A and B are shown apart, each in its own frame.
Chain A
Amino acid sequence: MDLSANASNLLPPRFRDWFVERGWSARAHQRAMIEKANAGADVLLVAPTGGGKTLAGFLPSLIDLAERGPRNGPKSLHTLYISPLKALAVDVERNLLTPVREMDLPIVVESRTGDTGQARRQRQKNLPPDILLTTPEQLALFCAWEGARDYFENLRCVVIDEIHAIHGSKRGDLLSLGLARLRSFAPHLRCVGLSATVDDPAGVRRWLSDKGDDIVLGQPGAPPQLEVLLSENRVPWAGHTAKHAMAEVYETIKTARTTLVFVNTRWQAEFAFQELWRLNDDNLPIALHHGSLSAEQRRRVEAAMARDELRAVVCTSTLDLGIDWGSVDLVIQLAAPKGSSRLVQRIGRANHRLDEASRAVLVPASRFEMLECQAAVEAVAENALDGDPPRTGARDVLAQHIMGCACSEPFDLQALYAEVTRAAPYADLTWEAYEQVVDFVSTGGYALRTYDRFRRLIRGSDGLWRVRTEEMARRHRMNVGVIVTAQTLNIRLPGRRGSGRKIGQAEETYFEQLSPGDSFLFAGQVWRFEGVEGSDAIVTHSTDTEPKVPSWGGAKFPLSTYLAKRVRRMMSDETTWSRLPPDVCEWLFAQKEHSSLPGEDDLLIETFSRGKRHFMVCYPFEGRLAHATLAMLVTRRLDRAGVGPIGYLANDYALCVWAMRPMDGLDFDALFQQDMLGDDLEAWLDESFMMKRAFKECALIAGLIERRMPGHEKNSRQVTFSADLIYDTLRRHDPEHLLLSCAREDAARGLLDVARLGDLLTRISGRIRVQRLAHLSPFAVPLLMEIGKERAPGTSAADMMLEDAALIDEAMS
């Protein structure tokens, strides 16, 4: 591509020369970004990886900084770059320094993350660099500083990287509020978003800015080469491990230079890593990367990857985003991807040259997953992506932001409202809702008004609101951010004195399922769990070859609505089955013959009995969360109907309830009435542990409870308090409180998927088909296998296989 006349006007001579020296030319989207910047527009750049996206985002700033005259007066920050990943901020610093050095530009570039030392932070505050690379949490902290307004007064540009990964979350809410704040500090600020391909660029663009619709689309990459791995072995009926296909996965890895093997959970990662090494006769350098491994260990793997020393890395979503590794030429998705957008993101990790196709292989772990993978491949081929529904900003996050603003400077109630509602997630926030949040920040917002003398915010005679004491501001700054992590334990070897080397960390809840003496898989090795000591789980090397792998917990992400619909469509259209392996086809035909197949827009329900138990299985294909909520609500109704429900189980595809009495005589239309989302849901929700979890998160974010500081938690547990006690008391005495309503919203949205369940109930209303069967159907087999495994932990593997075989015989005969 030659430099057009237009481009030569856009690029100053030393930039032009630099491009020429490197044998490059400015790409169309890079030129477009300069033009938009010259026009002062906010802009979203959507481009696949490998398209010079980051450089495109920074070029206008680099040019502006390079071309400015000699500076008089104090230094000020010109461009702020925000990335969801610390590692990315540091990596971009390195990449940006290359053109700065090679063109000898008088530009200072620095990064600032939670790991940045105190001295450097202080220097950055007193003597700002031209370009600062940081994270959303650091921006929130900046906003709570005294003097934030002066610091950002001359800010010209904000660049938000990987915007698609952050905008639809509480982190996104906080960032959006931070951006609105920066805009009021620096009215001429330009906002730039960088994003991978998304289903709804206009929505992301609206999140970024309330000005017009400026979107620059990068040149699309070559379409990916995507296939579903058809194993020589039969596709398992149930499970998440894809063990049956591991030999073929290994062979596929051998055909590539470097492979990323994506899985959905850490424990799947551990399992796959171990299985691959079991087969690794060629001693290929295969590594493991997930969020529980110690930071040093992850850095080592990343460094080896950057040096091009590895042939494969088994990884979780920890590597969905991040640093580009040029050598990756194959992505393997082990077990179903659950959503087409996630799959596209992962595929994009292979091959960072635009003109060459990324290569990816999907490995379904079970029969339902086979359907899902096939649907995902077709969705990607049609470039049909699933997206998140637009969200309204969380009020606990707003509370944190308002307190932050007060810590920074006194604020005017009206002016702050105008500023906050410029942030897209809060555009529809009413004045009343805003006042309620301010009142919460100030007095706790309780119906019982006894805390007026303990106010955190006070209104001065100038009419401005300010934080009451500097101590409160200091404590707030220590608790900024919305990332609430689960309690984790360090996994350590015993040492001669106390505990020894740290191997990694994992959620406390994981170890609650283990008893001392149990063996488990971690960091690619089998360990013996010895017990918990303080904040450490003590482990020793185990000689077991077969670890007890407790509860895989299934997939972390529920099946996306979009993909679910495609799976239902595929099942109802026999002509598409030819693309499936013969054993899966046979299974579908058997289901059609013995029972019937779920339609695109109806609900198939089967009832049957086995032994003394009576079963009801429904196949909505709406994802694990919506199914679990539905199962719980239906179980309550069945209990009232007197059939004596005993238990339920839900996965991404179906849900199953079993009871003491037969259920085939029930009025199913009444059972699945939408009104179950009313009182039943409320009543159950308030008692559920999910509500407690959601409440604790909201209370932490909103500042009702302070995060425990390291070293702060050792002694005197009895003088602290727990979020659960607060929740119980608040619920009884102030049921309308702001934080309870925040927690209900979060639980309904994130943990229960109530909105999706509502859509499901609407969709199936009047379209329920009931099959009253003499025995279980082929589709019910995977669920009954899962029930068997959950209910009999002591059963030996051999017994389990026998029982599974009996189930299959029963269903297929």
Chain B
Amino acid sequence: MTALEIGAATDDGALAIRVANVEVVLRASGALWLAQQRMLVVADLHLEKGSAYAARGQLLPPYDTRETLDRLEREVAALAPRTVVLLGDTLHDREAESRIALTERTRIAALAECLRLIWICGNHDPDGAGELGGETATVVEVAGLTLRHDPSPYPVVGEVAGHLHPCIRIHGPAGGVRRRCFASDGQRLILPAFGAYAGGLNLRDAAFTSLFDPAPIGFGLGRRVTPVAYEHLRPDRAALAR
């Protein structure tokens, strides 16, 4: 098994790595950039998560969709992609579409107008784009990579998935830091959640162990993307399955 190849960080904090021999760029925003194809990939937007909680009586601030689209539009403005792939769980639940405010619907429609917008179905949003604009797919094959929502449950080569919301936790003299992260062993890649309210699952959690061989590197998000070796990662107190 070849070691993971990591390039130098760019000025905007992004980091190029090779996954199954394909060069990809990990953006500090948590998006994936395939420069040759001019394709931007984002996972787990969970739009309308706030209103989903509100409907059940917990009135979280109703700004998550707006905030998540702000982030996505910033990446689109910076990179001018031809295609944007939404890697599943773009909507938090099946009723989310009916709760999206008109302003935000218009913003999504505008994206679908000016570029190719592909919705990969996730477990939260099996219907894909619905009426919001854009195409719906279950898998996208590009440049030898397979883009899908759910990671295959065993080590595979060339798969890019989301669903698990990986994050890392490290401890230093100033205490602990918990950050969203990309996870890769050089063969496959799991994207962090892009949505404003999406939680994270610690990369040391049992859910990740069967997916990677060797153990993955966590690429923590911050001002720049920072690779951290698996042995330096700390579990969450509650995340380890007993």
Contacts and interface: CB of A to CB of B under 8 A. Distances in A.
Contact of B49 (A509, A534, A721): A721
Contacts of B235: 532-533
A534 B63 CA distance: 33
A716 to B, nearest CB: 8
B49 to A, nearest CB: 7
Top 10 A-B pairs, shortest CB-CB distance: A444-B59, A718-B165, A733-B63, A718-B201, A454-B54, A512-B171, A472-B57, A512-B176, A713-B238, A720-B199
B64 interface: yes
Contacts of A487: 237
Interface in A300-333: none
Contacts of B60: 444, 704, 721, 726
Nearest to A727: B61
B141 interface: no
B54 A535 contact: no
Interface in A714-739: 714-722, 725-726, 728-730, 732-734, 737
A450 B61 contact: no
A471 interface: yes
B116 interface: no
Interface stretch (B30-38, B80-88, B147-155, B190-198): B190-198
B211 interface: no
Given A487-B237, A509-B175, A535-B237, A717 B201 contact: yes
A730 B242 CA distance: 35
A704 B197 CA distance: 14
Nearest to A515: B171
A718 B57 CA distance: 20
B197 A729 contact: yes
Contacts of B176: 508-509, 512
B237 A489 contact: yes
Nearest to A440: B59
30 contacts: A444-B54, A444-B59, A444-B60, A446-B59, A446-B61, A450-B101, A469-B57, A472-B57, A512-B171, A512-B175, A532-B235, A534-B237, A534-B240, A535-B238, A705-B58, A713-B238, A714-B242, A717-B200, A717-B205, A718-B193, A718-B199, A718-B200, A721-B49, A721-B197, A726-B61, A728-B196, A729-B197, A733-B61, A733-B66, A734-B61
A450 B103 CA distance: 12
A223 to B, nearest CB: 45
A491 to B, nearest CB: 12
A733 to B, nearest CB: 4
B14 interface: no
A720 B46 CA distance: 12
Given A475-B57, A733-B67, A737-B61, A721 B199 contact: yes
Interface of B: 49, 51, 53-55, 57-64, 66-67, 101, 164-165, 171, 173, 175-176, 193, 196-202, 205, 234-242
A513 B175 contact: yes
Contact of A448 (B63, B171, B173, B199): B63
Contact of A717 (B173, B197, B236): B236
Given A451-B59, A706-B58, A725-B198, 9 more contacts: A444-B54, A533-B235, A535-B238, A718-B200, A721-B53, A721-B199, A726-B61, A733-B67, A734-B63
Contacts of B205: 717
A74 interface: no
A294 interface: no
A487 B234 CA distance: 16
Given A471-B57, A508-B237, A729 B64 contact: yes
A793 interface: yes
A532 B237 contact: yes
A456 B59 contact: yes
A498 interface: yes
Interface string A384-420: 0000000000000000000000000000000000000
A714 B238 contact: yes
A443 interface: yes
Interface string A445-470: 01010110010100000000000110
A699 B241 CA distance: 28
A518 B205 CA distance: 24
A729 B67 contact: yes
> Of B55, B61, B176, B199, which is in contact with the most chain A CB atoms at under 10 Å from its CB?
B61
Contact of A725 (B173, B196, B202): B196
A718 B173 contact: no
A468 B51 CA distance: 17
A498 to B, nearest CB: 7
Given A718-B198, A721-B199, A734-B63, A456 B101 contact: no
B137 to A, nearest CB: 23
Nearest to B242: A534
A714 B61 CA distance: 25
Contacts of B49: 721
Nearest to B60: A726
A734 B66 CA distance: 12
B50 to A, nearest CB: 8
Contact of B196 (A444, A535, A729, A793): A729
A455 to B, nearest CB: 9
Contacts of A713: 238
Contacts of A729: 61, 63-64, 67, 196-197
Nearest to A471: B57
Contact of B241 (A468, A472, A715): A715
A565 B197 CA distance: 48
Interface in A461-518: 468-469, 471-472, 475, 487, 489, 498, 508-509, 512-513
Contacts of B173: 513, 793
A712 to B, nearest CB: 10
A333 B20 CA distance: 65
Contacts of A512: 171, 175-176
B59 A443 contact: yes
A717 B66 CA distance: 23
A737 to B, nearest CB: 7
Contacts of B58: 704-706
A450 B171 CA distance: 40
Nearest to B200: A718
> Of A487, A733, A737, which is in contact with the most chain B CB atoms at under 10 Å from its CB?
A733
A14 to B, nearest CB: 54
B57 A454 contact: yes
Contacts of A728: 196
B13 to A, nearest CB: 18
B104 to A, nearest CB: 11
Contacts of B236: 717
B238 A717 contact: yes
A732 B71 CA distance: 12
Contacts of B241: 714-715
B237 A454 contact: no
Contacts of A732: 63, 67
A717 B206 CA distance: 12
Nearest to A469: B57
A356 to B, nearest CB: 48
B42 to A, nearest CB: 16
A499 B176 CA distance: 24
A456 B56 CA distance: 9
Interface in A506-562: 508-509, 512-513, 532-535
Contacts of A722: 199
A534 B54 contact: no
Contact of B51 (A450, A469, A721): A450
B175 A444 contact: no
Contact of A444 (B55, B62, B165): B62
Contacts of B66: 733
Contacts of A706: 58
> Of A454, A715, A716, which is in contact with the most chain B CB atoms at under 10 Å from its CB?
A454
Nearest to A716: B201
A448 B62 contact: yes
B61 A444 contact: yes
Nearest to B68: A729
A533 B193 CA distance: 25
